[in-house]
Structure 1
């Protein structure tokens, strides 16, 4: 697990690793990564009858430990049936509250991954939000942790990595969510 309070040298190395992963992405990976949140936004609109905030909130609430395809299936099913199912109680409760009209920002943990995932889907051009998941972590530290805990529930560690993605995005000249998505695509497809 990386230290919550990293040295400036460690921080610079995390930023460098993110930029290098960006640079290693193919033009197709960059295109797909840049479009990822815009496509997710369109899906949120589609499943929610045009309410991006509600659609993005339900997608985010149901995202924990689910592949994107399963996340989409569960969210679409929730809107079709009028209630969420197929996930742990906490995720279902949050999704159902959002579907009932609660503001996602009052239901989701807004300072961690799920909240930022909601913000990036709700507004794909958001210039501050960045999702730090296990892949974003592994990219920054240049090591695949597998099933080991990365400690991303610690706000200091999460914010450190989010700030590194913001700094890398500034160097690249792109918004942080697009840097995260492009590097995620390149990381996921590294062996393909």
Structure 2
């Protein structure tokens, strides 16, 4: 696990790894990454009958440890059937509370991945929010951890990596969520 408190040299290295992944992305990966949260937002509006916040909240609530395709299937099914299923109890409870009308920002852990995922889907042009998932972590540390624990539940570690994505975004001249999405696309397609 990377240290929660890092040196400036480590932070610089994480930021450099992110910018290098951005630079290595193809023009098609950059286009798709830049559009990723816009398309997720459109899906959130569609599945929720026009309520972007509700749709984004349910997508975020059901996102943990699921592929994007499975996440979308579960969220669409939840809205169609009126109740969430196919996930762990905590995720289902959160999704159901959001569908019942609770504000996603009152239901989701807003200081960690799920909360930031909600914010990025609800507003694809959000200039501060950045999602740090296992892929974002692995990009920054230049190591694929596989099933090993990354410790992203530690607020300090999450914030450290989010700050590195913000620094990379500033260097690139893009918003952090788009840098995260482009590098995510390039990362998951690395072996394809």
* Bin for the TM-score computed over the shorter chain: over 0.9
> TM (normalized to structure 1)?
1.00
**Whole-Å Cα distance in 2 between the matches of residues 142 and 78 of structure 1?**
36
Which position in structure 1 is the counterpart of 2:163?
A: 163
Paired residue for 1:14?
14
Would you say how many aligned residue pairs link Structure 1 and Structure 2? 192
Alignment of 1:96-135 (within 5 A): 96-135=96-135
Which residue in the other structure is 1:138 paired with? 138
Q: Which residue number in structure 2 is paired with residue 73 of structure 1?
A: 73
Q: TM-score, normalized by length of structure 2?
A: 1.00
Counterpart position of 2:191: 191
Distance 1:44 1:125 in 2: 15
Partner of 1:44 in structure 2? 44
In 1, the alpha carbon distance for the partners of 2:70 and 2:186 equals 21
Q: Which whole-Å CA distance do the structure 1 matches of 2:128 and 2:142 have between them?
A: 24
- List runs of 5+ in structure 1 lacking aligned partners: none
Give the Å deviation of 1:17.
0.3
Report the RMSD for the aligned CA atoms in angstroms. Answer: 0.4
Secondary structure of 2:12's counterpart equals: helix
Distance 1:77 1:189 in 2: 27
For residues 168 and 44 of structure 2, what CA distance do their matches in structure 1 show? Answer: 28
Instruction: Give the corresponding residue for 1:154.
Output: 154
1:191 shift after superposition: 1.5
Q: Aligned runs of 1:49-60 on 2, under 5 Å? A: 49-60=49-60
Residues in 2 aligned to 1:74 and 1:191: alpha-carbon distance in whole angstroms: 27
Q: Deviations over 1:11-65 (max 9, x none)?
A: 0000000000000000000000000000000000000000000000000000000
